[in-house]
């Protein structure tokens, strides 16, 4: 039946599918306001979606809202990588699943691709401020069951991870998405577990990056690469993310710019700003 549906209606159906998958619910007005269609057109779209995937949604008369069912299976194929990028940029449409315009621009290939359904459950938990129980595989302890309160999904440049409050350690930590499985929502988050209490997430620190004083012959090239002003690029970054950024860009974090090699094109001029910042074991030369 989808083959006979217009492209415009496919977009609206993909949007319904996307909202059910990642939000867990959708109001009829969400569709109407998003596409500026009339009430009758919106009703037709939901009726068609129910015809195509009757097991995917249920209507709550009291809340006047459609909810994802336990038997939900996406009507469209949502690409995990493209979806994560769109979610990171606050784009919620699901249009990739119906073959929207692809521009001739390529991003580096990733070696690890998170499970789309794991991502969907995590997004639902974050949006609805819920706690989750997950099976997690760590490098140090192997498989374990954790109770987490997630508040963000983050691209650290090499892979995606979840920022969450860990109820066992009573601290905010990072969890690699591809190591998470069996996500179950298990109640509401407590007030003290929210993002506002993640101090390393809330704290912004300035990183002053300059061309490496020993490894770069023509410093103006690096200044142009990064749009530096007066030879300096100042980046405001969350303290919880500083280590990832410094590793991703191979920033020499030694006190006297001691690291040698063509990969070290940048040096952190204000090293002192990293004091009391976590996750710096991965920052080149810091320690």
Tens-place pLDDT, residues 80-91: 877 887 777 766
Q: Does the structure show a pLDDT above 60 at 102?
A: no
Q: Does the structure show a pLDDT above 70 at 48?
A: yes
**Lookup: tokens for 141:** 């302890």
Number of H helices, E strands in the chain: 8, 12
Span 99-116, average pLDDT: 63
CA distance 127 to 36: 24
**Given this model, what pLDDT does residue 101 score?**
46
Question: CATH 1.10.10 region(s) of the chain?
Answer: 2-98
269 C-beta neighbours (distance < 10 Å), count: 17
User: Whole-prediction pTM value?
Assistant: 0.80
pLDDT tens, position by position, 8-24: 999 999 999 999 999 99
Q: Does the structure show a pLDDT above 70 at 213?
A: yes
Among 38-42, 78-82, 189-193, 268-272, where is mean pLDDT lowest? Answer: 78-82
The fold of the 116-198 domain, in CATH, is SH3 type barrels. (2.30.30)
Concatenated DSSP letters of 23-59: TSEE-HHHHHHHHT--HHHHHHHHHHHHHH-TTSEEE
**Domain at 2-98, CATH class:** mainly alpha
Q: Do residues 16 and 42 touch, judged by C-beta distance below 8 A?
A: no
Span 132-156, average pLDDT: 93
SS3 content of the chain, % helix, strand, coil (to 5): 35, 25, 40
The mean of the pLDDT values for the chain is 90
Question: CATH 2.30.30 region(s) of the chain?
Answer: 116-198
**Given this model, what pLDDT does residue 103 score?**
46
Span 204-209, average pLDDT: 97
Q: How large a percentage of the chain has pLDDT more than 70? A: 92
Span 160-176, average pLDDT: 96
**Given this model, what pLDDT does residue 130 score?**
95
């Amino acid at each position: 039946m989808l083959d006979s549906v217009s492209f415009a209606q496919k977009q609206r159906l993909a949007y319904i599918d996307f909202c059910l998958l990642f939000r867990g619910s959708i109001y009829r007005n969400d569709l109407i306001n998003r596409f500026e269609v009339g009430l009758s057109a919106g009703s037709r779209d939901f009726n068609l979606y129910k015809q195509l995937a009757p097991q995917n949604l249920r209507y709550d008369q009291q809340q006047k809202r459609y909810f994802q069912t336990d038997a939900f299976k996406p009507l469209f194929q949502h690409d995990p990588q493209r979806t994560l990028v769109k979610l990171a940029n606050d784009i919620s449409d699901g249009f990739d699943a119906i073959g929207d315009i692809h521009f001739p621009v390529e991003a580096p290939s990733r070696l690890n691709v998170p499970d789309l359904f794991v991502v969907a459950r995590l997004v639902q938990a974050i949006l609805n401020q819920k706690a989750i129980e997950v099976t997690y595989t760590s490098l140090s302890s192997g498989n374990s069951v954790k109770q987490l309160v997630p508040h963000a999904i983050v691209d650290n440049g090499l892979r995606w991870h979840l920022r969450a409050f860990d109820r066992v350690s009573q601290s905010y930590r990072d969890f690699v998405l591809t190591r998470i499985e069996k996500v179950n929502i298990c109640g509401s988050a407590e007030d003290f577990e929210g993002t506002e209490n993640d101090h390393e997430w809330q704290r912004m620190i300035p990183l002053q990056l300059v061309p490496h004083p020993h490894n770069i012959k023509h410093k103006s090239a690096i200044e142009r690469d990064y749009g530096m002003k007066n030879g300096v690029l100042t980046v405001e970054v969350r303290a919880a993310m500083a280590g990832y950024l410094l590793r991703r860009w191979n920033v020499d974090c030694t006190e006297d710019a001691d690291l040698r090699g063509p990969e070290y094109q940048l040096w952190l001029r204000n090293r002192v700003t990293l004091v009391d910042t976590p996750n710096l074991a991965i920052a080149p030369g810091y320690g």
